[in-house]
């Protein structure tokens, strides 16, 4: 067999391949995946490549269009329907080719454009920015069959399954491990519609295969995209991301209040509700299911509106293709109107949430989550058909819920691990998701330990005298001059300091205020207000000593806004709980300090890292190694939706996470007492030591201080 030299750009892959091979097959031999959906049918156009002409001295080849087979009728027809694409890109037919159609006849240099490259990735912003490879659990294949006749009256499913095996092999390469047709399965509900769809489509269908083994959707004609939803069920808010499973693109983000809030503000009160009311679980379960169904509909609507806006910007011919006008496109090449996604086209939903949200979603009674010894019903991830839960995506579609780790370390923490990947690090990372309850994960590739602790609502601004959510009017930043003891503050929605009318203090400013009171020497390291200070801002108020941040005339509520002794005590208890949890994990792991601290969730994104460390909320470490990563749980859900391998990974990782229940630690009370001080009664905190006023240095701690 004659061989030719092939160079692939931009990867630079090169090698000798057989004459007559398609460029797509040749590229695969050289380790470069080129996209395809249509089983090399010249239909999907995903495998477009460019023939680069010229004499390439570096490779010692003479690359010419004549060195590949001429443009076929099918290719010509494909490009004829896309004049705008050619014009926009400045390509001409012959230069651009469908690599599944174009056969090698001589030396050639090929450019694989971004959109044709296989193994698509999305980039996730995290402590270590990483690329996530798109490997969804559902893949689509175009299957064309010879209709049955009296000589070959083989059944519909077997006819389709043999076609799928062929298509899978064409799309993935003949050497790829694809299941034999008789190993494939079809979901029962999907089977029910099979015969009609095959005949209506004249034996040309696009099928969606789940996990390479089960057909869950059969659509007439050629259909390009499948959709999935990633959902983070918070106790307060439910957030849903509608994604394109092929590209990884987020098409819509929607959120709603968690409707269970009427049955209890926090998880403990909701568990209590299910214990006290025989129909309590059923009510909570139905409430979340109906919210999910509402969010699905909203997300599809939002996505279609935004896709419609994109189509409107296209030239008329592109828009007509997008609208699926049969006059423009061949009957064998139905392009689904991309602005008309249906909820039934959503083939998978991945969910995360704390263990209580997890149990209620699955209609599992959560009572043992709230009673010692605090045991979930199940840790491992659960796969269940959407129809079993009444979730109105495609009825053959799958619901995947990530594993729980412990009673108070749920699927949201699993998702955070998946997003941040402490299990792939050499360094020891401490991940903290702060809420009313904080979950902590510490470790590296060798070992991960976890715990959780109630922190109370103070860190989120509740149970603090003038605490409020980070809404307009909320003070979000506080600075106190250590000489004048006068404050500066910034209000949400205002660009400058000390402008606008204050209404209250939100979580980040509470941390700021406590840290600044300490730094300026207004409260001592035990959190007690000093009384002999030369400022009228420190005063005896109705509920004891307090520091006035904003005078009544600076507010929209006509009252002074102070931080009270009571408020400081609340923060001390919350930060002591969190610090003790961190310290316990570090100690159990034989570590002094973490290499990195990662703060997940909304709270972590807004607080001032330095001030959080100054009050001893987090263990000492170099401030440049403290990261706020936002909604890591939501990101983790999206990663699991887009990459099936990540699901197995997180199941395996969570199986080996060691769980510690804090009250079982004998030193807990002792440690907790020491941790109520700012930043801590017996720990040195060298990285913020310069901010600590009048520090009495423990001789034992000296060696750690720089």
| Chain residues that interact with a copy of itself, rule: CB under 8 A | 148-151, 153-158, 182, 186, 188-189, 191-192, 194-196, 199, 362-365, 368, 372-380, 382, 384, 388, 404, 406-407, 651, 655, 659, 661, 663-664
Tokens coding 286:
């139905």
258 or 381: CB nearest a copy of itself: 381
72 or 189: CB nearest a copy of itself: 189
CA atoms within 13 A on the CB side of 531: 4
608 or 651: CB nearest a copy of itself: 651
Least CB distance from residue 147 to a copy of itself, whole Å? 8
192 or 530: CB nearest a copy of itself: 192
511 phi/psi in degrees, rounded to 5? -60, -50
Q: What is the number of other CB atoms lying within 10 angstroms of the CB of residue 667?
A: 12
148 or 330: CB nearest a copy of itself: 148
Least CB distance from residue 169 to a copy of itself, whole Å? 19
Residue linked to tokens 């060691």:
658
Cα distances from 624 to residues 127, 263, 333, 596, 687, in angstroms, run 11, 42, 54, 9, 10
457 phi/psi in degrees, rounded to 5? -85, 0
Least CB distance from residue 439 to a copy of itself, whole Å? 15
59 or 374: CB nearest a copy of itself: 374
Bond preceding residue 679 cis, omega within 30 of 0: yes
Pairing relationship of beta strands 54-56 and 61-63 according to DSSP bridges: antiparallel
144 or 407: CB nearest a copy of itself: 407
Least CB distance from residue 387 to a copy of itself, whole Å? 9
Tokens coding 261:
């809030």
Q: Please list, in sequence order, all residues whose beta carbon lies within 8 angstroms of the beta carbon of residue 323, skipping any fewer than 6 positions away.
A: 311, 337
Cα distances from 489 to residues 478, 550, 554, in angstroms, run 4, 8, 11
Among the listed residues 224, 189, 188, the one whose alpha carbon sits nearest the alpha carbon of residue 206? 224
Helices 565-588 and 668-675, packing angle to 10 deg: 130
Least CB distance from residue 675 to a copy of itself, whole Å? 22
CA atoms within 13 A on the CB side of 289: 20
Among the listed residues 105, 127, 129, 102, the one whose alpha carbon sits nearest the alpha carbon of residue 116? 102
Least CB distance from residue 364 to a copy of itself, whole Å? 6
Least CB distance from residue 654 to a copy of itself, whole Å? 10
Least CB distance from residue 194 to a copy of itself, whole Å? 6
Least CB distance from residue 199 to a copy of itself, whole Å? 8
Asked if 116 and 35 touch (Cβ cutoff 8 Å), the reply is: yes
Determine the Cα–Cα distance for residues 387 and 292; give it in Å rounded to an integer.
13
102 or 417: CB nearest a copy of itself: 417
412 or 554: CB nearest a copy of itself: 412
81 or 285: CB nearest a copy of itself: 285
90 or 153: CB nearest a copy of itself: 153
Asked if 431 and 438 touch (Cβ cutoff 8 Å), the reply is: no
Complete DSSP assignment for 405-463? -BTTB-HHHHHHHHHH-GGG-SS-EEEEE-SSEEEEEEE-SS-EEEEEEE--SGGGTTT
Least CB distance from residue 640 to a copy of itself, whole Å? 18
Least CB distance from residue 4 to a copy of itself, whole Å? 41
Residues linked to residue 346 through DSSP beta bridges, in sequence order: 227
């Amino acid at each position: 067999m004659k061989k030719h030299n092939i160079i692939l750009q931009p990867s630079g892959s090169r090698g000798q391949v057989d004459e007559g091979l398609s460029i797509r097959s040749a590229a695969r031999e050289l380790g470069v995946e080129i996209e395809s959906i249509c089983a090399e049918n010249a239909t999907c156009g995903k495998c477009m490549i460019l023939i680069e002409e010229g004499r390439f001295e570096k490779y010692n080849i003479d690359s010419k269009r004549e060195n590949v087979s001429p443009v076929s009728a099918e290719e010509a027809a494909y490009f004829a329907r896309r004049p705008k694409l050619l014009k926009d890109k400045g390509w001409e037919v012959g230069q651009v080719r469908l690599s599944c159609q174009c056969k090698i006849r001589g030396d050639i240099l090929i450019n694989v454009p971004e959109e044709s490259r296989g193994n698509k990735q999305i980039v996730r912003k995290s402590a270590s920015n990483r690329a996530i490879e798109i490997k969804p659990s559902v893949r689509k294949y175009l299957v064309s069959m010879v209709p049955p006749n009296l000589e070959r009256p083989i059944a519909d499913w077997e006819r389709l399954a043999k076609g799928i095996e062929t298509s899978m092999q064409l799309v993935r390469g003949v050497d790829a491990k694809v299941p034999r047709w008789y190993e494939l399965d079809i979901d029962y509900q999907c089977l029910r519609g099979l015969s009609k769809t095959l005949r209506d489509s004249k034996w040309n269908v696009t099928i969606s295969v789940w996990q390479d083994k089960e057909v869950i959707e059969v659509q007439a004609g050629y259909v390009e995209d499948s959709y999935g939803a990633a959902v983070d069920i918070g106790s307060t808010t439910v957030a849903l991301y509608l994604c394109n499973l092929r590209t990884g693109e987020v098409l819509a983000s929607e959120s709603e209040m968690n409707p269970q809030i009427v049955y209890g503000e926090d998880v403990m009160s909701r568990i209590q509700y299910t214990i006290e009311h025989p129909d309590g679980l059923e009510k909570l379960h139905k409430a979340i299911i109906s919210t999910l169904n509402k969010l699905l509909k909203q997300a599809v609507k939002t996505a279609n509106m935004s896709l419609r806006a994109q189509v409107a910007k296209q030239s008329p011919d592109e828009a007509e293709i997008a609208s699926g006008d049969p006059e423009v496109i061949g009957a064998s090449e139905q392009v689904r109107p991309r602005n008309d996604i249906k909820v039934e086209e959503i083939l998978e939903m991945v969910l995360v949430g704390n263990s209580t949200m997890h149990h209620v979603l699955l209609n599992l009674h959560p009572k043992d989550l709230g009673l010692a010894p605090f045991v979930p019903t199940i840790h491992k991830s659960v796969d269940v058909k959407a129809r079993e839960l009444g979730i109105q995506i495609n009825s053959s579609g799958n619901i995947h819920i990530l594993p729980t780790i412990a009673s108070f370390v749920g699927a949201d923490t699993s998702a955070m691990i998946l997003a941040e990947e402490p299990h792939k690090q050499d360094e020891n990372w401490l991940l903290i998701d702060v809420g009313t309850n904080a979950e902590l994960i510490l470790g590296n590739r060798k070992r991960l330990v976890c715990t959780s602790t109630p922190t109370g609502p103070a860190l989120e601004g509740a149970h603090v005298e003038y605490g409020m959510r980070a809404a307009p009017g909320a003070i979000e930043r506080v600075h106190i001059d250590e000489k004048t003891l006068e404050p500066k503050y910034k209000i949400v929605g205002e660009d400058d300091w000390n402008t606008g009318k204050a209404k209250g203090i939100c979580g980040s400013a509470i941390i700021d205020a406590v840290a600044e009171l300490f730094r300026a020497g207004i409260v001592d390291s035990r959190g007690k207000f000093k009384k002999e200070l030369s400022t009228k801002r420190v005063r005896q108020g109705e509920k004891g000593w307090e520091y006035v941040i904003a005078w009544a005339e600076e507010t929209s509520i006509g009252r002074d806004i102070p931080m009270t002794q009571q408020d400081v005590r609340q923060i001390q208890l919350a930060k002591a709980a969190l610090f003790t949890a961190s310290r316990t994990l570090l100690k159990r792991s034989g570590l002094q300090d973490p290499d990195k601290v990662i703060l997940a969730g909304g709270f972590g994104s807004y607080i001032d890292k330095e001030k959080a460390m100054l009050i001893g909320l987090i263990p000492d470490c170099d401030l440049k190694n403290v990261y706020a990563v936002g909604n890591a749980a939501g990101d983790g859900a999206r990663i699991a939706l887009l990459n099936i391998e990540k699901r197995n990974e997180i199941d395996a990782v969570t199986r080996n996470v060691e769980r510690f229940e804090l009250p079982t630690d004998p030193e807990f009370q002792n440690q907790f007492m020491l941790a109520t001080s700012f930043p801590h009664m017996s720990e040195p905190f060298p990285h913020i030591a310069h901010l600590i006023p009048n520090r009495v240095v423990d001789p034992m701690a000296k060696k750690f201080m720089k």
